[in-house]
Amino acid sequence: MLTGKHLISGDWIGSDATFASEPAHGPSYDFAFRTPALVDKAVDAAEDVCVTFGWSARAERAGLLPLIADEIDARGDAITEIGTQETGLPEARLQGELGRTVGQLRFLADHIEQGDYLGMRHDQALLDRAPLPRPDLCMIQRPLGPIAVFGASNFPLAFSTAGMDTASALAVGCPVVVKGHPVHPGTGEIVAQAVDPPLSAA
Angle CA 92–69–94, to nearest 5: 15
pLDDT tens string 131-171: 999 999 999 888 989 999 999 999 999 999 999 999 999 99
In sequence order, the β-bridge partners of residue 123 are 137
Packed helices 58-74 and 76-87: angle between N→C axes, nearest 10 degrees: 70
Contact in structure between 80 and 94 (CB atoms under 8 Å): yes
3-state secondary structure of 19: strand
Model's pTM, two decimal places? Answer: 0.89
Low-confidence ranges of the chain (pLDDT < 50): none
